[in-house]
Structure 1
Amino acid sequence: MKREDINIRDPFILPYEGKYYLYGSRGSEVWEDNATGLDVYVSDDLENWSEPKEIFTRTADFWADRHYWAPEVYAYNGAFYMFASFKSADRCRGTMVLKADKPDGKFTVHSEGTITPPDWESLDGTLYISKSGKPYMIFCHEWVQVNDGEMCAIEMSADLKRAVGEPILLFKASEASWIAEAQKNKGIYVTDGPFPYRCDDGTLLLLWSSMGEEGYTEAIAVSDNGDIDGNWVQRDELLFKKDGGHGMIFKTFDDKLLLLLHSPNKHPLERPAYFELEDKNGMLYVK
């Protein structure tokens, strides 16, 4: 398959041992109430991809039947861990952790339920390791429940099976200057797709998405102490503002720094898109 043939939202790439593994929310099922699984695509060059391989399959006893969203896979402590969000008709959306022994292996449930609070509508959990080595999940407390979407974090146990303590609030979507006036008028402020990135000079950034004047966006918040518990300041200038978002950052095997996001943000036209980045003076810029 060519990249332009792949219809997914919320793309995530894991470079591992000479191959690129692409995960995302299935375009065909993303808004449906009968989700069946999650896939991986594999590539050597980021343009030519394998057919999708199902790596998580809904079983009869699995609690969620819809909205299998935003899978992210990390190599951690000798195994591969997937953070993905799920929902059912009678339970809040939340992010769980799944586990496999290889990046395209069969993932099975690892965490003890959702890491996000069970009575919160939450999504888009991503892994962050603090300066002291503690794992955290950064996630969104969704606007459908709180109107002013929140970006939160919660400490996890070292084995990634459970939450430790209570969530901490990083910031609210309304703190961003660039939020579209139409959203403000409705009193709705979306938070989507957090992804932490540490700059070469040690500055900690958090990519996240919402709705700007030109559509879905990729924005940046900056921690004032270089860690998860700092004060987060919103950058006024967007990293990407024209109808694309839910991004992440990875390095290619030839050491290019790439932003990956889905664009456009219209079903069923979503495709993975890359943009080369420059890491300069504690900030990211599209080249």
Structure 2
Amino acid sequence: MTGKPAKEDAIDPSVIVDYTLPIADPFVLYHGGKYYAYGTRVNGFEVYISKDLKQWKRNDIKALSPENSWGTRWYWAPEVYYVKSKNLFYMFYSVDEHICVATAISPEGPFVQSIKKPIVENEKGIDTSLFIDDDGTAYLYYVRFTSGNVIWVAEMNDDLQSIKTETLTKCISVESPWEKIQGTIAEGPSLLKRGSTYYLIYSANHYESQDYAVGYATSSSPKGPWKKYTGNPILRRDKPAASGLVGTGHGAPFICADGSYKYIYHAHGSTTSVGPRTSYINDFNFSENGTISISGEAIKPVVVK
């Protein structure tokens, strides 16, 4: 028996303006019945909006424009969170290899830095990811250039604009063979909590490597120590979920409308060219014993009028 897609599931080719979601280092926020996707592509950040994860519309204005931000180049890896206690949306991102945060009253933006300076002024860093624990403590995970790209965490101050530098703790550095194929790079952190277990999802290798890949580690504390999953990597070009894609990584898990998780990530433009990097979405699962897997047929988003 062969299944046929419902008519309402078919995408009219006349409305498609791009057969890919043209962002790298992607992140998705589900809020108010819509999905918002942000990523690396231009100076500042665009936002793409969808109701079904398949068809996306690019918003007419940038979510973050350079004039509303410190820095002038290398706008990378934005992540956006709604913080209920403050009734604001927070965008954490990298610009000119420093970490920054901007706020808005809408997930569409415009996001604005109230004080135009990096979160950490005297040190380079990239790839920020926010986690607020059940007790209200906020943690910022990000990459510091300490013997390669290394993932660290620090507690944030209540303003969510600055970190408590005395709490900086190293989380993940390159150790395993799968992480060492190209470069000394652990990056793109995301933090989830299930029950009493903390999961730190990350990518390793240089993003230009076809073996760019995703793994994770677990801990009983948001600061670690972290135990890497013995079955890493969970996403790489040789895994079924990659479906022939190469350079798969630097993504983020997100909660869908039905409460399930999916994972958005980027891949190389082709097997012969790194760019333009584009984004794909797969299922993100927890087994009964707490093991994470990325599986299923990839959603290949399109941008429509």
- Paired residue type of 2:280: A
Shift of 1:163: 1.6
Aligned to 1:22: 37
Aligned residue number for residue 184 of structure 2? 189
State the alpha-carbon separation in 2 of the partners of residues 167 and 189 from structure 1.
Answer: 24
SS in 1 for 2:174: helix
**CA shift in 2, pair 1:131/1:66, >3 Å:** same
TM-score (norm 2): 0.78
More strand by proportion, 1 or 2?
1
Counterpart of 2:199 (choices 175, 199, 205) is: 205
1:1-80 aligned within 5 A: 1=16, 4-26=19-41, 29=42, 35=43, 37-52=44-59, 53-59=61-67, 62-76=69-83, 77=85, 78-80=87-89
CA 1:171–1:161 in structure 2 vs 1: closer, same or farther (change >3 Å)?
A: closer
Partners of 1:3 and 1:48 within 8 A in 2: no
Give the letter aligned to residue 252 of structure 1.
C
- How far residue 107 of structure 1 moved from its aligned partner, in angstroms, is 0.6
- Tell me the residue number matched to 1:84: 93
Between the aligned partners of 1:218 and 1:109, the Cα distance in structure 2 is 31
1:4 and 1:271 in contact (8 A); partners too: no
Query: How many residues of Structure 1 are paired with residues of Structure 2 in the alignment?
Result: 261
| Amino acid corresponding to residue 99 of structure 2 in structure 1 | T
1:8, 1:135 → 2: CA distance?
27
- Given that 1:263 and 1:272 are in contact with CA atoms closer than 8 Å, whether structure 2 keeps it comes out as yes
* Structure 1 outlier segments of 4+, above 6 Å: none
1:230 Cα deviation (Å)? 2.3
CA contact (8 A) 1:202 1:282 kept: no
Task: For 2:91 and 2:294, locate their aligned partners in 1 and report how far apart those are by CA, in whole Å.
Answer: 28
- Give the CA RMSD over aligned residues: 2.2
Would you say the 8 A contact 2:150–2:187 is kept in 1? no
- Structure 2 distance, partners of 1:286, 1:75, is 25
Match of 1:149 in 2: 149
d(CA) in 2 for partners of 1:11, 1:140: 16
Could you tell me how far apart the structure 2 residues matched to 1:40 and 1:119 are?
A: 30
Cα contact 1:69–1:86 (8 A) shared by 2: yes
The aligned residue for residue 32 of structure 1 is none
Provide the secondary structure at the position in 1 that maps to 2:95. Answer: strand
The structure-2 alpha-carbon separation of the partners of 1:73 and 1:62, relative to structure 1 and needing over 3 Å to count, comes to closer
Q: 1:112 offset after TM fit, Å?
A: 6.5
The one of 208, 230, 239 aligned to 2:234:
239
Does the C-alpha gap of structure 1 residues 167 and 113 become closer, same or farther in structure 2, counting only changes over 3 Å? Answer: farther
Q: Per the alignment, do residues 62 and 274 of structure 1 end up closer, same or farther by CA in structure 2, a change over 3 Å counting?
A: closer
1:137 matched residue in structure 2:
140
For residue 8 of structure 1, report the CA deviation from its aligned partner: 0.8
Q: TM-score, normalised by structure 1?
A: 0.83
* 1:279 paired to 2:298: no
Distance 1:152 1:120 in 2: 13
| CA distance 1:3–1:154, shift in 2 (3 Å) | farther
Q: Which amino acid aligns with 2:251?
A: G
Bigger RCO (CA 8 Å, 6+ sep): 2
Q: Does 1:165 align with 2:165?
A: yes
**What do residues 194-237 of structure 1 show as CA deviations (whole Å, max 9, x unaligned)?**
000123x43111011112885111110111x2x22221112232
Change (3 A) 1:221 1:111: farther
Computing the radius of gyration from Cα coordinates, the structure with the larger value is 2
